[in-house]
Structure 1
Amino acid sequence: MNSNLVANVEVERKSAQYDGKQFNNLVTIAPQSIGKTLGIVKRYITENRVDTEPTSRLPMAAITTGSLAALSNDKVHIIKLGHSSILLKVKGKYWLLDPVFSERASPFSFLGPKRFQPAPISIAALPNIDKVIISHNHYDHLDKAAVRALAHKTAQFLVPLGVEGDLAAWGIDKQKIVAFDWWQELETKDTLVAFTPTQHFSGRGLSDANTTLWGSWVIKTDNESLYFSGDSGYFPGFKTIGDKYGPFDYTLIEAGAYDEDWADVHMTPEQSVQAHIDLQGKVMIPIHNSTFDLAFHAWYEPLERALSAADKQSVVLNTPIVGEVTTVGCCEPQESRWWHSL
């Protein structure tokens, strides 16, 4: 595998996406405004929202240190932890994608979207982590408390340009952090990791809009290939990524928290299925759903719509419950409609 090895860098932001003040998408999208934000807040207050949270506990498979150790070291195993948080076992090493373990996806411990139920394993119970991979700095993808708790047991943090400043401020050793621009790659003995574009935005406060980059991740071994979408609106970049790095055995694609008021930066489930096709994916796992109430749709709607679109497009969909292990190239994907029983 050829690669352009990324070294630890100072944030000089030589990125083509950076205009000297902020990062930008490949195409211009409507900027967020105070008026639009207030309009969305008004909708949350006045609209009659139905089934935005489950009324009973969601099914979950138990994960233990022992069950993880028992997974083979010659395969890639995928475990959904909730929302967009994924635990991978890659050739015997453990990777975490967008690990969020906090009770709320919010800057506040007492306010903001509260998770429907805890993650299936605690950070303390996790084995040592080879890589933590972050797609962007929104609170439902970059959890400060989780990052700090993972610091002592993680060998490397792979992040978008600018996010290394956040991690360093939170006490992560700078030598452990690798910052990526779009299309940059990191190759090791067994794997290739590439940071690829999305159509989204960043920010954790009122004054830092788009001061860090956002994106998706390609993960390849000699025999397996995964795509992790982070967050994105539907855009031609999916086909570009598929042409460069596809086909993918599994695509982990955002399907949830969509709405007409932010259609540029979050896909509908139908668009998510089309993105999977553009990426030349073989099996799609819908992520970014069933954990937090972040939109106006019912909590189960993303899965139902993704399943319907997949059927129409002859796409193979895998819908594991939280904690369930999916092994690449091992078994037939399970199109379980587990949400129908709730």
Structure 2
Amino acid sequence: MALIPPRVSRRARSRVRRDAWRTALPILVVGCLVLSVVVVAGGSAVRRDVGCGLCHRGHVAANRDSAHQGLRCAECHASPGAAGIVADGLRSIRWLSVSPFREARPGFAPERACRECHSFALTSTVTTYVRVRHADFAEERCARCHAGTGHRVDAERRWYAGPLMEDCTGCHRVSGTNVDACYVCHPPGLTRQRPEDERATVFTASHGAGWQRAHGMGDMSGCTTCHVPADCAKCHGIPLPHQQGWQRVHGDGLTEPVRERCSACHDPQWCTDCHGVEMPHGDGFLPAHGGLAEGLEDVCYRCHVEASCAQCHYSAEHNQTPGVDYHFGAGDPQ
């Protein structure tokens, strides 16, 4: 016979709840106080740039070499007002709990921060390097064109304070044949010309120094503003960029005249970096290649298949010779 638990009176249940609240309330109060202190301390630390360099060492170092080197991080990245202290404090908790386990990224900079110092930009026409009226871009984020003004954007991208031509032409297509179109943005009498230093690219209207050796190494969108692929072939003599599958066939056409075209952009080390051996194969390679290939089959197979060996080495010549196997990796002759 099952036992029926005694009914708990309403007064007893109320007393249990009251006792539970008496126990939990001090814990909740202390927890809220601790959280408030942590949030306010975190928000205040953000405004004093305390600890930014622990995670953002590269960004802090880059800032010292920028036009904003005299500003604190908070002047561009902190949220405004008392509510901003709370918001930044809550973010700091997340940063401390997650950031140690991943690479730090540049923080968001609101438009408000930019316009506190650059309010004149929306009412004037800039004539430094290029002519542009910022009022035409009032709805765009400043960082759309000036993302690198305080920090290097990333290791693969250039460091820039203002947009270069390929940034503009990503949205604004211009005529590559109508020279008058150039003067819309590049009129005579600009305040300054963009400096030719490591932060500039070779894709200027007049091409920078050494552009012949460097122009294929960057973002080709700057080239296509004025040039079509046929222009590349006029100098290079081959389609550029290289057509799909060129790695498997480029050796077949490397006669001496064609090889000279390759050397216009590539030095011999380029060949060695991919092939793993001197290319083209040097004098004396043919009689010695069997010994050279031992243990380097993967290097040979970058260009050759096993059937390539059979073109010279007929298996019928050796398959009855005791202890001799000319297949890669089968061992040395006995």
TM-score range, shorter chain: under 0.3
Between the two structures, name the one with larger relative contact order (CA 8 Å, sep ≥ 6): 1
Output the TM-score relative to the length of structure 2: 0.20
From the CA coordinates, give the structure whose radius of gyration is larger.
2
Greater helix content = 2
Output the TM-score relative to the length of structure 1: 0.20
